[in-house]
Amino acid sequence: METVLNKINSAIDYGISLMEALCSFCLDKLTLLFKHAFAWSVVIGAIMLLLLGLIGDPYGFDYY
C-alpha cells in the first residue's frame, strides 16, 4: 500500500513540475512577445483612439 501512495505522490509531484514548466514557458514567451509588441501596441492603440474620436459612435454612446 505504501508503494501505491508513493507512486501517487510522485505523480502529483510530476503534475506540479509540469505546472511550473507551463507557467515559466508562458512568462518567457510572453516576455519575448511583449518586447516586440510594445511599440506596435502603442502605435495601434493611439491610431485606434484617433479614428474612434473621428468617427464616433453612430448610435450615440451607451455604456451597456
Partner 1 sequence: MIDLIFNSGTLAMADALLQGGLQGLIVSLVLVLFTLIGLNFSKKFSEANEEFINANPTTISNKIILQISGVILFLAVTVFWIASFASVPDVAEYLGWFAVIQSVLTTVFVAALLYAIVAIYFQPDRANLKEDKSSSVAEDMIGLSSFALKIPLVLSSFISTALMTLGAFYLIVAFVQNALMSIDSNGEFFYFEASGANVLTGVSYFLSGAFAPFIFYLLFLIFFPVYNYLLAILHIPKIGK
By rule CB under 8 A, what string of x and - marks binding of each residue 41-60 to partner 1?
A: xx-xxx-xxxxxxxxxxxxx
Can residue 11 be called a binding residue for partner 1 (CB under 8 A)?
Answer: no
DSSP 1-64: -HHHHHHHHHHHHHHHHHHHHHHHHHHHHHHHHHHHHHHHHHHHHHHHHHHHHHH--TT-----
Cβ-based nearer residue to partner 1, 6 or 30? 30
Closest approach of partner 1 to the CB of residue 25, in Å: 8
Closest approach of partner 1 to the CB of residue 37, in Å: 6
